């Protein structure tokens, strides 16, 4: 399937290609929320869910569709940590760096993840399987150090077990029932 180019609201200056080649998904979301107070965050959330991240083209389309300035859309997308402006991997690995996790080895867990994945915080592996991020507290202080892979919490993580933990995501068929 060939990707078609859609230009954003910048009238041809931008030639970003959307992940699925169209604005159909975001246009439907905009129509659903248009003229409702507080629409920007829910529209951005649904756009990110549909496209995997908030590209400049998508943010421009949201700006145009909701009649909100580009600066406001960009400001919201960069202020809230749950929005991503770059493609994320299939698995978002977040390391808790709250006080309890940090004191119990959170930094060493993060270092081991960076080494194993070959990426730094905020980056995505070339195969788009993993993205790495940090959080401030996941509310599991008694289980520190903690990481989350998507919505799954892993407790008392040891740097020496990172390769094994990631293998369950890299090769799910090989690790079922383990």
Among 87, 112, 141, identify where a domain stops. 87
Could you give the CA distance from residue 47 to residue 65 in angstroms, rounded to a whole number?
A: 13
For residue 9, is pLDDT > 60? Answer: no
Domain containing residue 102: 91-175
The arithmetic mean of pLDDT across residues 152-167, rounded, is 96
Q: How far is residue 80's CA from residue 92's CA, in Å, rounded to a whole number?
A: 16
Of 87, 103, 132, which residue is a domain's last?
Answer: 87
Domain with 69 in it: what CATH number?
1.10.10.1590
> Distance between CA 124 and CA 114 in Å, rounded?
11
- Measured CA to CA, the distance from residue 107 to residue 27 in angstroms comes to 42
Q: Are residues 135 and 70 in the same domain?
A: no
pLDDT value of residue 21: 56
DSSP state of 156: S
13-58 per-position pLDDT tens digit = 344 445 555 788 899 999 999 989 999 999 999 998 888 889 999 9
User: Are 79 and 95 found together in one domain?
Assistant: no
- Provide the whole-model pTM: 0.66
Is there a single domain that holds both residue 75 and residue 124?
no
How many structural domains comprise the chain?
2
Domain boundary among 50, 65, 87: 87
Token output for 29: 């979301």
Question: Which pLDDT belongs to residue 67?
Answer: 95
């Amino acid at each position: 399937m060939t990707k078609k180019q859609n230009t954003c609201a910048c009238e041809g200056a931008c030639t970003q290609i959307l992940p699925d080649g169209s604005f159909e998904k975001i246009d439907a979301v905009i129509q659903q929320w248009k003229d409702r107070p507080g629409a920007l965050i829910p529209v951005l959330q649904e756009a990110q869910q549909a496209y995997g991240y908030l590209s400049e083209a998508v943010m421009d389309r949201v700006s145009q569709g909701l009649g909100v300035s580009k600066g406001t859309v960009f400001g919201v997308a960069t202020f809230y940590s749950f929005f991503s402006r770059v493609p994320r991997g299939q698995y978002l690995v977040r390391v808790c760096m709250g006080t309890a996790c940090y004191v119990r080895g959170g930094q060493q867990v993060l270092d081991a993840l960076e080494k194993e994945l070959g990426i730094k915080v905020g980056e995505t592996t070339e195969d788009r399987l993993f993205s790495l991020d940090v959080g401030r507290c996941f509310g599991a202080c008694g289980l520190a150090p903690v990481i989350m892979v998507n919505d799954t919490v892993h407790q008392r993580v040891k740097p020496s077990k990172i390769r094994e933990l990631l293998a369950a995501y890299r090769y799910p068929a090989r690790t079922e029932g383990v």
